[in-house]
Structure 1
Amino acid sequence: MSQAPHPRDTLTLAGTPNAVGLARLHAAHVLSGWGVSAEVVETVKLIVSELTTNAVRHPKKKEGEEVSPFSSQFDVQTFELALELVRDAVRVSVWDRDARPPVLTEPGVEATSGRGVFIVAMMSSRWGHYPAWGRSGKVVWAEAGLSPVSRGGENEGLEQPPGHPPATGSRQPRPDPHLLGRVLVGVRAL
């Protein structure tokens, strides 16, 4: 007797500034269709926002080159968003062409950027990254538990999805509840 496959959906987007909003809308539509609760959909939308923002802002570029996505010299590349129901979670995976691993930092209160991976780590039950297979770049993934108690960095380290190479990175920092609260208030205001 075979088991039914897990629901899975993929979307390829151009790495343009409007891609993040489109990815969030797509995720909400797909997850609502799968019957995922509104609270989990909101968490997944936040994770999708952060992972796709990184794919748009940090595409593979030549050493030292920094080109704004609004510049006519910007070379538009694509990235892929995948959503999947696994065990007791929604897994969000984003493939981009940049092989550099995500950097988990604990930004200061006054920092104006650099919180994306931190937010993903705090809002997901598990997260990690691995080199893309058969193409350049990497895949960064995160899981949001289908029950509210399974998020917030219950794990102390990075994990790997089954069947993938070991995740690399450092241990998750302890969240500063005041900083996380301010970030969430700012995100809700978007």
Structure 2
Amino acid sequence: MSQAPTPRDRLLLANTPDAVGLARLHTTDVLARWGVYPDSIENIRLLVSELATNAVRHPKEENHPNPSHADRHPLQTFEIALEIINGVVRVSVWDRDATTPVVKQVGAEADSGRGLFIVATVSQRWGCYPAQGMPGKVVWAEVPVRPESHGRAESEARSPGNRVPAENTSPLVTAPTPASGPARPSRNLHRATPALRALS
């Protein structure tokens, strides 16, 4: 008896002012159709919002060896992918900036810089790896389909380095062999999630 296909969805967006809002709406619609728990949907919406915001703010593209590449892509774009694997929802965001993201320690009064800290806190695990066959990188994060299955391990948010999901099934690009293991589960701040949403 064949197994049901893995739920997957992809959305390509231009770096426009309404891109983040469109990404959130699309995420809510897709996850609701997949039957993901409402609390998990809220956490995933927050991850999508932060990762999409970073993609829109940092659309830098390195020099591409093909001179016609820029002509074929007059608008800067980024792509969001959603999939369910082994009881978790994985969010993957590709953008054209190859810079490895770093979690910053920011004060309560800071106007920006909290994005990856929120990602590292809300997700069960997350990471980043270079895109293959295209400029830029892929940042991914995972949240359990069922909130109660969220790990309770306590760990400090930290820079992901070049980690890739252990399953190596990114819907965006072919991931390289991981140089190190996946990110450890971040702290479970279920009760603090509303406050994190207010900061974002």
TM range (shorter): 0.7 to 0.9
Aligned ranges for residues 152-171 of structure 1 at < 5 Å?
Answer: 154=153, 156=155, 158=160, 160-161=164-165, 162-163=167-168, 164-165=175-176, 166=178
> What amino acid is aligned across from residue 116 of structure 1 in structure 2?
G
| SS, match of residue 10 in structure 1 | strand
Asked whether the equivalents of residues 43 and 122 of structure 2 are also in contact (C-alpha less than 8 Å), the reply is yes
> What amino acid is aligned across from residue 136 of structure 1 in structure 2?
P
Asked whether the equivalents of residues 121 and 189 of structure 2 are also in contact (C-alpha less than 8 Å), the reply is no
Partner of 1:58 in structure 2? 58
- The answer to whether 1:183 aligns with 2:173 is no
Partner of 1:82 in structure 2? 81
| SS, match of residue 106 in structure 2 | coil
Cα gap change, 1:4 to 1:141, in 2 (>3 Å) = same
Shift of 1:186: 4.2
Whole-angstrom distance in 2 between the partners of 1:18 and 1:185: 19
Cα gap change, 1:178 to 1:87, in 2 (>3 Å) = closer
| SS, match of residue 10 in structure 2 | strand
CA offset digits 1:8-53 (Å, max 9, x no partner): 0000000111000000000000011111111111111000000000
> What amino acid is aligned across from residue 88 of structure 1 in structure 2?
G
Whole-angstrom distance in 2 between the partners of 1:91 and 1:115: 21
CA offset digits 1:106-128 (Å, max 9, x no partner): 21122110000000111100100
Whole-angstrom distance in 1 between the partners of 2:187 and 2:30: 32
Aligned ranges for residues 91-170 of structure 1 at < 5 Å?
Answer: 91-151=90-150, 154=153, 156=155, 158=160, 160-161=164-165, 162-163=167-168, 164-165=175-176, 166=178
Partner of 1:39 in structure 2? 39
Whole-angstrom distance in 1 between the partners of 2:199 and 2:85: 30
> What amino acid is aligned across from residue 133 of structure 1 in structure 2?
Q
Shift of 1:146: 1.4
Asked whether the equivalents of residues 153 and 188 of structure 2 are also in contact (C-alpha less than 8 Å), the reply is no
Asked whether the equivalents of residues 154 and 188 of structure 2 are also in contact (C-alpha less than 8 Å), the reply is no
Asked whether the equivalents of residues 104 and 118 of structure 1 are also in contact (C-alpha less than 8 Å), the reply is yes
Cα gap change, 1:153 to 1:13, in 2 (>3 Å) = farther
CA RMSD of aligned residues (A): 3.1
Cα gap change, 1:170 to 1:25, in 2 (>3 Å) = closer
Partner of 2:67 in structure 1? none
Indicate the larger mover: 134-143 or 175-184: 175-184
Whole-angstrom distance in 2 between the partners of 1:118 and 1:111: 13
Cα gap change, 1:106 to 1:151, in 2 (>3 Å) = farther
Asked whether the equivalents of residues 83 and 90 of structure 1 are also in contact (C-alpha less than 8 Å), the reply is yes
Unaligned runs of 5+ in 1: 63-74
Unaligned runs of 5+ in 2: 63-73, 169-174
Partner of 1:67 in structure 2? none
Partner of 2:21 in structure 1? 21
Indicate the larger mover: 20-29 or 142-151: 142-151
| SS, match of residue 106 in structure 1 | coil
